[in-house]
Structure 1
Amino acid sequence: MEFDAVLLPPRRARMVAQGLWHDRTINDDLDACVAECPDKLALTALQVEQGATTRFTYREMARMADRIAVGLSRLGVGNNDVVACQLPNWWQFTLVYLACSRIGAVMNPLMHIFRERELSFMLKHGETRVVIVPKTFRGFDFEHMVSELQPSLPDLKHIVVVGGEGPDSFEALLSGPAWENEHDAHDILTRSRPGPDDVTQLIYTSGTTGEPKGVMHSANTTMANIIPFAQRLRLGADDVVLMASPMAHQTGFMYGLMMPVMLKASAVLQDIWEPKQAIELIRAAGASFTMASTPFLTDLARTVAETGQQVPSLRTFLCAGAPIPGPLVEQARQVLGTKIVSAWGMTENGAVTMIQLDDEDVRAFTTDGLALPGVELKVVGEGDQALPADQPGSLLVRSCSNFGGYLRRSQLNGTDAEGWFDTGDVARIDAQGYVRITGRSKDVIIRGGENIPVVEIESLLYRHPDVAMAAIVAYPDERLGERACAVVVPKPGRSVDLPSIVQFLKGQKVAIQYIPERLVVREAMPSTPTGKIQKFKLRDLLRESAA
Structure 2
Amino acid sequence: MILCEPQRIAQMVGAGLWSTRTLWDMFLVNVERGPEQEAVVDPPNMAALTDAAPRRLSWSALHAEVERLAALLYAEGLRRDDIVIVQLANSATQVALYLACHRLGIVFSPLPAVYREFEIEHALRSTGAKALITGARIGKQAHGAMMEALRGRHASVRTLIVFGDEVPAGAVAADRAMLGELPIAAMRVYAASIGLSADDVVSICWTSGTEANPKGVPRSSNEWYWQSKGTVDSVGMGVGMRILNPFPLVNMGGMSSGFVGWLLKGATLVQHHPFDLAVFLQQIRDERIEYTVAPPAILNRLLQHEALLEGIDFKRLRRIGSGSAPLSPWMIETFAQRYGVEVLNYFGSNEGAAMCGSAADIPDTGERATLFPRPGVPGRPPWAEAINNIVQTRLVSVDGGHEIVKPGEPGELRIAGPTVFSGYFGEPALSDRSFDAQGYFRTGDLFEIADAECRYLRYVGRLKDLVVRGGMKISAEEVEGLIASHPGVAEAVVVGVADAVLGETLCACVVPLPGQALDLQALVSFLRDEKKLAAFKLPERLLLLDALPRNPVGKVLKRQLREQLDGGGTP
Q: Same-fold call, TM > 0.5? A: yes
CA contact (8 A) 2:137 2:144 kept: yes
CA contact (8 A) 2:228 2:257 kept: yes
TM superposition score normalised by structure 1: 0.93
* Structure with larger RCO (C-alpha < 8 A, sep 6+): 1
Per-residue deviation, residues 491-547 of structure 1 (Å, max 9, x unmatched): 223222222212222302222222212211101111122221111211222223389
Per-residue deviation, residues 257-285 of structure 1 (Å, max 9, x unmatched): 11111101111101121122112211222
Q: CA deviation at 1:335?
A: 6.1
Matches within 5 A, 1:59-74: 59-74=60-75
CA distance in 1, matches of 2:186, 2:412: 54
Give the SS at the match of 1:438: strand
**1:479/1:115 CA distance change after superposition, 3 Å:** same
**1:492/1:8 CA distance change after superposition, 3 Å:** farther
Per-residue deviation, residues 94-151 of structure 1 (Å, max 9, x unmatched): 1111111111100101111211111112113211112111211221111111111111
Q: CA deviation at 1:297?
A: 2.7
Letter in structure 1 aligned against 2:97: V
Give the SS at the match of 2:42: strand
Task: Please point out which of 275, 278, 282 is paired with 1:276.
Answer: 278
CA distance in 2, matches of 1:287, 1:479: 56
Q: Which moved more, 1:362-371 or 1:525-534?
A: 362-371
- Residue equivalent to 2:90: 89
Matches within 5 A, 1:60-209: 60-165=61-166, 168-173=172-177, 175-177=178-180, 179=182, 182-192=184-194, 194-209=196-211
1:339 aligns with 2:342: yes
CA distance in 2, matches of 1:15, 1:224: 11
1:419 aligns with 2:439: yes
1:543 aligns with 2:569: no
CA contact (8 A) 1:22 1:223 kept: no
Task: Please point out which of 403, 407, 419 is paired with 1:386.
Answer: 403
Q: CA deviation at 1:370?
A: 4.5
- Residue equivalent to 2:494: 472
Q: Which moved more, 1:72-81 or 1:370-379?
A: 370-379
CA distance in 1, matches of 2:282, 2:308: 14
CA distance in 2, matches of 1:132, 1:301: 40
Task: Please point out which of 502, 505, 511 is paired with 2:524.
Answer: 502
Structure 2 spans left out of the alignment, 5+ residues: 376-386
Give the SS at the match of 2:108: strand
Task: Please point out which of 456, 463, 481 is paired with 1:434.
Answer: 456
Task: Please point out which of 537, 558, 568 is paired with 1:514.
Answer: 537
CA distance in 1, matches of 2:487, 2:18: 48
**1:279/1:485 CA distance change after superposition, 3 Å:** same
CA distance in 2, matches of 1:333, 1:191: 52
- Residue equivalent to 1:22: 19
Q: CA deviation at 1:161?
A: 1.5
CA distance in 1, matches of 2:295, 2:358: 18
Q: CA deviation at 1:156?
A: 0.9
CA distance in 2, matches of 1:470, 1:336: 29
1:364 aligns with 2:382: no
CA distance in 2, matches of 1:129, 1:385: 45
RMSD: 2.2
TM superposition score normalised by structure 2: 0.89
CA contact (8 A) 1:311 1:336 kept: no
Letter in structure 2 aligned against 1:321: S
**1:227/1:41 CA distance change after superposition, 3 Å:** same
- Residue equivalent to 1:461: 483
CA contact (8 A) 1:103 1:191 kept: no
1:46 aligns with 2:43: yes
**1:198/1:317 CA distance change after superposition, 3 Å:** same
Per-residue deviation, residues 24-65 of structure 1 (Å, max 9, x unmatched): 111111111122111111111115262643111111111211
- Residue equivalent to 2:380: none
CA contact (8 A) 2:284 2:312 kept: no
Letter in structure 1 aligned against 2:391: V
CA distance in 2, matches of 1:354, 1:507: 32
Structure 1 spans left out of the alignment, 5+ residues: none
**1:241/1:214 CA distance change after superposition, 3 Å:** same
1:323 aligns with 2:345: no
Task: Please point out which of 9, 13, 20 is paired with 2:10.
Answer: 13
Task: Please point out which of 227, 230, 255 is paired with 1:228.
Answer: 230
- Residue equivalent to 2:383: none
Q: Which moved more, 1:429-438 or 1:201-210?
A: 429-438
% identical aligned pairs = 28
